[in-house]
Amino acid sequence: MPARTTQTRENAENAANATNADVTGSAASGPGPGPGPALVRGLAGACHPLPAAAVTLFAAALTAAAGHGPARAAVTVGAVAAGQLSVGWCNDRADLRRDLATGRRDKPLVAGTVPAAAVMWAAAVSLLLCVPLSLACGPLAGTAHLVGVAAAWAYNLRLKSTAASWVPYALAFGLLPAFVTLSLPGTPWPPPWLTAAAALLGAGAHFANVLPDIEDDLATGVAGLPQRLGLRVSAAVGGLLVIGSTATLVLGPPGPVTAYGWTLLAATTTALLLAARRPAGRLPFPATMAVAGADVILLVLELRP
């Protein structure tokens, strides 16, 4: 067993009693101080801002490509933003015990820059806001989005520690194009290649996001699929999933492949191969987000009216 894993496990065991007391005290202390710059910064850091912003921008690009008017686009993007905020805050609150045990001082809750109760309230309020915004886009579209958000909450609260940890990511990402298209007149479903590409990207993002924390996760009892497969296998699987997503976007639509499509596929493969050389670092997830951004450009080109 690696030395870091052994040390982390010992730290987790030694910190367990103190962690339980800290969490209990934080959760019972109420929502904390009133709104202020420090509280806002803490909440912003606890919502997982990079993935939340990336998914929201992805939804905004999809609404533009699908031809939504400004009002419907604003409601759609607002629903996605509210859902992502709720998921991010739920994740940090659910992980508090483990983050305290492993000394994750980069997390606002661990650093003490935001009360645990404030994050819990923020997650609840944003989830409640997500429901009417989603349903305002139509019952079928709203249901698709809320199923995706529910899957993400299920990951935070239970499924992240199971072999099915990848399923909520694939489901939530795969349903996002449906949320956008089902709110159009006639409630059309997105083309199958788009759903498949989004689901593959979501599963790949899960693997890339977990890579730097596999040892800490195992030490604190989190045994999702990437943790079970190990660092190098998970890095390879995650890279293949993201490459598969890009390949599906490039080759799935009818008609000839554009020069941009071939260039994107080659660049994606190169970038992820380079990132896989350091699977324990923080590079794979930003690389995956960069690929997602390039994929969005391709989507806009493919779906524009």
**pLDDT, tens digit (0-9, with 9 covering 90-100), for 169-218:** 999 999 999 999 999 999 999 999 999 999 999 999 899 888 888 888 88
Q: Is the pLDDT of residue 11 over 50?
A: no
pLDDT given at position 267: 84
pLDDT digits (tens, 9 = 90+) for 145-156: 999 999 999 999
Mean pLDDT for the chain overall? 83
pLDDT digits (tens, 9 = 90+) for 55-113: 998 899 889 888 898 999 999 999 999 999 999 999 999 999 988 888 888 889 988 88
Q: Cα(144)–Cα(177) distance, rounded to whole angstroms?
A: 9
Per-residue tokens: 126: 């944003």
pLDDT given at position 303: 60
Percentage of the chain beyond pLDDT 70 is 83
pLDDT given at position 35: 58
Read off the pLDDT of each residue in 278-300 and give the average, rounded to a whole number.
71
User: Are the C-beta atoms of 27 and 93 separated by less than 8 Å?
Assistant: no
Q: Is the pLDDT of residue 241 over 70?
A: yes
CB burial of 293-304 (b: ≥16 within 10 Å; e: otherwise) equals ebbbebbeebbe
Q: Is the pLDDT of residue 283 over 70?
A: no
pLDDT given at position 121: 96
Q: Is the pLDDT of residue 25 over 50?
A: no
Per-residue tokens: 25: 């005290």
pLDDT given at position 215: 85
Percentage of the chain beyond pLDDT 90 is 47
pLDDT digits (tens, 9 = 90+) for 28-48: 344 444 557 888 889 999 999
Cβ neighbours of residue 74 under 8 Å, at least 6 residues apart?
none
Band (269; pLDDT cuts 50, 70, 90): confident
pLDDT given at position 276: 65
